[in-house]
Structure 1
Amino acid sequence: MLNLLRNLTLRQLQIFSAASQYESFARAAEALHLTQPAVSMQIKQLEEALGLTLFERIGRRITLTEAGATLSHHAKRILGDIKDAEDAMRSLSSADGGTVSIGLVSAARYFVPRQISRYSERHPKVDIRFSIGKRDLLLRQLQDNAIDLAVMGRTPVELDAHCEPLAYNPHVIAASTTHPFVDAACFDLHELRHDTFLLREPGSDTAAVASEMFQHHLFTPARTLALDSNETVKQAVMAGMGVSLLPLHTLRLELLAHEVSLLHVNGTPIDRVWHVVHMNAKQMSPTCAAFRRFLIEKTGAWLEGLFADLTPPAHAANPFVQT
């Protein structure tokens, strides 16, 4: 087994990592521009050399065994370190090239891709790749060096990570345009005690903010319904199924189209903060550092301008607006 690990090729690691990510030899083959038999053969050779089964086959679906999960963890870290080395070498010959990988919690998908587009217009040789995942997944990817940066709300105190504020992340109570309190100037949260509260699933940043709001107001909704995504929550709100506490930045299109209303509940908007996160041990390439700096310097003011006509007056002094 030791001889196998010494002679393990980068291509074999890439094939195995892709198969474990997609849980499909066919999808791994497509992503790597290989044939499915070629992927299957490489995995079989790995299993035979190790004397261990890396995948369980259940119909057309494959899942990692315990041995496969262990190898997958190390493969991600090795491939991440190799990418760091490639970026560092590339940056020596071109300060405006290289690859950056960034993970986003679901609510950040509503604004970070636009920032990526803005940056790419200025730096077309930089390849910025992003993925969407739950907070726990992003934390694992940061630890495994599978991503360079992550954008999330709550700071990950459980990691040895550096967190930098990006922008205010106001949370608002959204309702259908026919809700009886749409035109109410200001009212207490307890006035909504008979409403159904549509919540994100436990573990999400938004669910955590809602829980803190309920505790702060000593409030218990008559009924709650947990849903799996912001899009599902928004559709349920528009359908009049209930009200929801949501990040303001997920609602721009619905507010512009007058499909959702914001209720003026005392204590809202609830100000939270967007953060960009990287591991303290991360050897950040100049390309990655430049993109991170762009996010920190530009995101706050840009978001405030984007929502200026859709929200209550901005804070008198906003530390996220660069002057």
Structure 2
Amino acid sequence: MNYTLHQLEIFKKIAELKSVTKASEQLFLSQPAVSIQLKNFQEQFGIPLFEIVGRRLYITEFGEEIAAAAAKILNEVEAINYKSALFEGQLAGKLKIAIVSTAKYVMPHFLSDFVKQNEMVDITMAVTNKMSVIRSLEDNDCDFALVSTIPKKLNIERIELMRNRLYFVAGKNFKFTENNSITEEFKNALFIFRENGSATRLAMERFLVKNKIEVSRKMELSSNEAVKQAIIADLGISIMPIIGIRSELEKGELQILKVQGLPLETNWNIIWLKTKNQSLVAKAFKNHLEKNKNQIIDSKFKWFRKVSY
């Protein structure tokens, strides 16, 4: 047998996703290239690794065994690379971060220089809602979490990064008169909510209750991007973090509704369990944030700090 590490990686990913197309997307390879490598890998075994039933791909029992072995081999290779880098004086290893979906506009800027300076550090960043992020932290599935509201039940440490400001947002054609009662202005509006577990949804619900705004029509979407596109299409209105809509505001596709009591303000915080035994990579990233966060905010988010509605 003469299979390569590249073929092992490809088959492992196909076995995980049960799809050549999805595997090619995640590996940043063309579908034909992945199909060819899968064919070449299969030809080295006398027993089928997979089968196609209808249009679906199924991994055989033998294929599952090979995929598990491939995962072990690839992990060992990765460990060898990390150890080699460490002996050469480089920082090496994995950094796992879980972030709330609004933070995808923030976290990459705090990672950028750290990643460039440490080429042997691999980053995994899960982007989801607050509930799932906190669960990931509780289950020790990540080194750090980036959230806009601090979980009260967890014993954590944190680094405060920057403000998060939320406004009522509507499409360019939405008619709104500041002097009128917001209860009357929003009477027939369709309110677009994030899914349950989202911190943005919770903030919006609290604001509506506090201001006695009745919601007669609602829509629920599972990402900020989906909410943004729905508002641009004039489907409805929502409370959104301004950090993710700069371009749309500048182009006039969205408008901020000047409502008393807004913006709602929180802070993005990078948090970790106080009892967490941090890796060298995690400690290095924490030091990077403490040393450089103000410079990053000044250079990357100057516009955000000056915005006022």
Q: TM-score, normalised by structure 2?
A: 0.69
SS in 1 for 2:220: strand
CA distance, structure 1, for counterparts of residue 218 and residue 192 of structure 2: 6
Give the direction of change, closer, same or farther, for the CA distance of 1:26–1:195 in structure 2 (3 Å limit). Answer: closer
Contact between 1:88 and 1:286, CA under 8 Å: does it hold in 2? no
Partner residue of 2:220? 226
CA positional deviation for 1:154: 2.8
> Which one-letter code corresponds to 2:221 in the other structure?
L
Identity %: 23
> Which one-letter code corresponds to 1:151 in the other structure?
L
> Which one-letter code corresponds to 1:169 in the other structure?
N
Check if 1:199 corresponds to 2:196.
no
1:101-112 to 2 correspondences below 5 Å: 101-112=96-107
Contact between 1:255 and 1:310, CA under 8 Å: does it hold in 2? no
Check if 1:138 corresponds to 2:133.
yes
Give the direction of change, closer, same or farther, for the CA distance of 1:265–1:101 in structure 2 (3 Å limit). Answer: same
Give the direction of change, closer, same or farther, for the CA distance of 1:283–1:85 in structure 2 (3 Å limit). Answer: farther
Check if 1:208 corresponds to 2:202.
yes
Contact between 1:187 and 1:266, CA under 8 Å: does it hold in 2? no
Check if 1:60 corresponds to 2:36.
no
SS in 2 for 1:198: strand
SS in 2 for 1:199: strand
Greater shift, 102-111 or 203-212, is seen at 102-111
CA positional deviation for 1:58: 11
CA distance, structure 1, for counterparts of residue 305 and residue 179 of structure 2: 19
1:25-36 to 2 correspondences below 5 Å: none
Partner residue of 2:146? 151
CA distance, structure 2, for counterparts of residue 227 and residue 249 of structure 1: 19
CA positional deviation for 1:94: 2.8
Partner residue of 1:127? 121
CA positional deviation for 1:84: 10
Check if 1:116 corresponds to 2:116.
no
CA distance, structure 1, for counterparts of residue 210 and residue 279 of structure 2: 43
CA distance, structure 1, for counterparts of residue 173 and residue 181 of structure 2: 17
Partner residue of 2:175? 180
CA positional deviation for 1:262: 0.6
SS in 2 for 1:178: coil
Structure 1 unaligned segments of length 5 or more: list them. 1-13, 41-56, 73-78, 313-323
Give the direction of change, closer, same or farther, for the CA distance of 1:185–1:260 in structure 2 (3 Å limit). Answer: farther
Contact between 2:176 and 2:185, CA under 8 Å: does it hold in 1? no
CA distance, structure 2, for counterparts of residue 279 and residue 95 of structure 1: 26
Structure 2 unaligned segments of length 5 or more: list them. 1-8, 28-32, 43-52, 69-73
Contact between 2:11 and 2:38, CA under 8 Å: does it hold in 1? no
CA distance, structure 1, for counterparts of residue 216 and residue 108 of structure 2: 37
Contact between 1:186 and 1:266, CA under 8 Å: does it hold in 2? no
CA positional deviation for 1:247: 1.1
Deviations 1:65-113 (A, max 9, x none): xxx9xxx9xxxxxx99xx9999799667536444322222221111212
Deviations 1:104-138 (A, max 9, x none): 222111121233224334x1435352434323443
CA positional deviation for 1:166: 1.9
CA distance, structure 1, for counterparts of residue 98 and residue 198 of structure 2: 15
Partner residue of 1:247? 241
Partner residue of 1:256? 250
Deviations 1:144-171 (A, max 9, x none): 5443222122333454543432221111
CA distance, structure 2, for counterparts of residue 39 and residue 160 of structure 1: 48
SS in 2 for 1:154: coil
Greater shift, 224-233 or 185-194, is seen at 185-194
Match of 2:297 among 301, 306, 309: 301
Q: TM-score, normalised by structure 1?
A: 0.66
Check if 1:269 corresponds to 2:269.
no
> Which one-letter code corresponds to 1:225 in the other structure?
M
Greater shift, 289-298 or 228-237, is seen at 289-298
